[in-house]
Amino acid sequence: MGLFGTFVYENKEGEKFWLHKDEQGDRTFYYFSKDPEGAVPSLPSGYTVEENPNSNMPYLKKGPGESFIDKIFDILGI
């Protein structure tokens, strides 16, 4: 799932969706598609995959930001 290929997500119905990236000017958009052509190798940092309960379509959700203290603890190995 990204280590030797592209990032693919399988929903609860068994459908596969590949993560794509589109850059427009200074903005970057991520979206899922059933087409593997041009898919990206991994999730962007700080995001997780959620699934729409009505359509079963995956989408990215930004996770809670890591606090300054958490980053310091990570650096120090605490």
The total domain count for the chain is 1
Q: Per-residue pLDDT tens, the chain, 78 aa: give them.
A: 545 689 999 999 999 999 999 999 999 999 999 999 999 999 988 889 999 999 999 999 987 655 566 666 667 776
Q: In sequence order, which residues have a C-beta less than 8 Å from that of residue 40 and are 6 or more positions away?
A: 6, 7, 19, 20, 21, 30
pLDDT of amino acid 63: 77
Q: Residue 1: inside a domain, yes or no?
A: no
pLDDT of amino acid 31: 97
pLDDT of amino acid 69: 65
Query: Are the C-beta atoms of residues 51 and 61 closer than 8 Å to each other?
Result: no
pLDDT of amino acid 39: 97
Q: Residue 2: inside a domain, yes or no?
A: no
Domain extent, residue 49, equals 8-76
Q: Residue 56: inside a domain, yes or no?
A: yes
Burial class (CB in 10 A: 0-12, 13-18, 19+), 19: buried
